[in-house]
């Protein structure tokens, strides 16, 4: 059943928060996923990253499970747990990557541990059968927990994925400007969809210019993202976008600093007549909308 497309509700008054909406932490000693696209060369330690947040006077971060770690979210959960024991530091929230058979009870426990969304990474890979029983049940449980569904996919394939997710999930976050076609980004069907969709539960990350325009030097890529940011801000407003640094810029580590990334984000907002803001409050505050969901999944006895 398609949920009504009203604005997702939040119980948090978080409008004044300044956060980084997309970053990663990991060590190269962690078990790497089979079939990964690449293997990181250097550690990206949480203490180093938190120092960058402090330097930029940011209140917190959405830490996204890296693709090369697959569905083993244990390090991310350990980092979130450690951050909650420390006083006076920026707040860390997490975006997990899950096997679609993950039970509802486990997802609820992860929510209590600081996970606020789940990432569907289809970049350079086929979209799974989201209408089949395994994935449709998974998406229903994501909705029951109150998480948003974050998607990473090329702009040419984005619109049909949004169509499917909007049939079951109220909160959808699209990575990296929607990764529009670099030759004609504003005319890319996925980017057009982002501009034209009035759904208040659809949010876009202004992040990773090096992934949007990978053939350009990163400063030039950031400048090229300016018109895209302005178009999004003018079309859907600052309450439906969120800036992210994409630190530590895996595969694109050279040519940028965290301070530069933050300034690019400020410039993007101001190009659209806005100031940096949290975006949708629900992005940090999962609110279950189907608490009585009946869990059906094909798991072995």
Domain contains 39? yes
Buried b (16+ CB within 10 A) or exposed e, 113-129: bbbbbbbbbbeeeeeee
- For the chain, the domain total comes to 1
Domain contains 140? yes
Mean pLDDT split into 10-residue runs, the chain, 301 residues:
45 67 97 92 96 97 97 98 91 98 98 97 96 98 97 98 97 98 96 97 98 97 98 97 97 94 98 91 78 47 34
Q: Can you give the three-state secondary structure of 118-136, one letter per residue? A: EEEECCCCCCCCCCCHHHH
Domain contains 219? yes
- Is 0.95 surpassed by the pTM of this model? no
The single-letter DSSP state of residue 295 is P
- CATH code for position 40: 3.20.20.140
Q: What is the domain extent for residue 117?
A: 19-283
Domain contains 295? no
Asked if residues 277 and 14 have their Cβ atoms less than 8 Å apart, the reply is no
Domain contains 273? yes
- Cα dihedral 75→77→82→86 (10° resolution): 130
Domain contains 55? yes
pLDDT of residue 194: 98
């Amino acid at each position: 059943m398609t949920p009504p497309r009203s604005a997702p509700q939040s119980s948090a008054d978080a409008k004044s928060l300044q956060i980084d909406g997309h970053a990663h932490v990991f060590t190269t000693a962690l078990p790497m996923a089979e079939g990964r696209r690449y293997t990181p060369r250097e550690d990206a330690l949480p203490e180093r990253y938190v120092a960058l947040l402090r330097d930029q006077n940011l209140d917190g971060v959405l830490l996204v499970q890296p693709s090369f770690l697959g569905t083993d979210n244990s390090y991310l959960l350990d980092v979130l747990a450690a951050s909650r024991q420390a006083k006076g530091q920026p707040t860390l929230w997490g975006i997990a990557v899950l096997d679609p058979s993950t039970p509802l009870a486990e997802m609820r426990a992860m929510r209590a541990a600081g996970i606020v969304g789940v990432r569907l990474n289809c970049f350079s890979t086929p979209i799974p059968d989201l209408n089949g029983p395994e994935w449709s049940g998974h998406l229903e449980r994501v909705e029951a927990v109150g998480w948003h569904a974050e998607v990473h996919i090329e702009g040419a394939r984005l619109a049909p994925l949004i169509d499917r997710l909007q049939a079951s999930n109220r909160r959808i976050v699209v990575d990296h400007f929607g990764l529009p076609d670099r030759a004609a980004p504003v005319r890319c069907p996925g980017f057009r969809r982002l501009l034209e969709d009035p759904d208040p539960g659809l949010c876009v990350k202004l992040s990773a210019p090096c992934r949007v325009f990978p053939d350009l030097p990163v400063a030039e890529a950031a400048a090229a993202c300016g018109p895209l940011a302005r178009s999004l801000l003018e079309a859907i407003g600052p309450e439906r976008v969120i800036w992210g640094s994409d630190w530590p810029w895996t595969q694109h580590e050279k040519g940028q600093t965290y301070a530069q990334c933050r300034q690019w984000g400020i410039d993007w907002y101001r190009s659209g007549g806005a100031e940096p803001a949290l975006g949708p409050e629900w992005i940090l505050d999962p609110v279950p909308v189907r608490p009585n969901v009946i869990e059906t999944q094909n798991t072995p006895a």
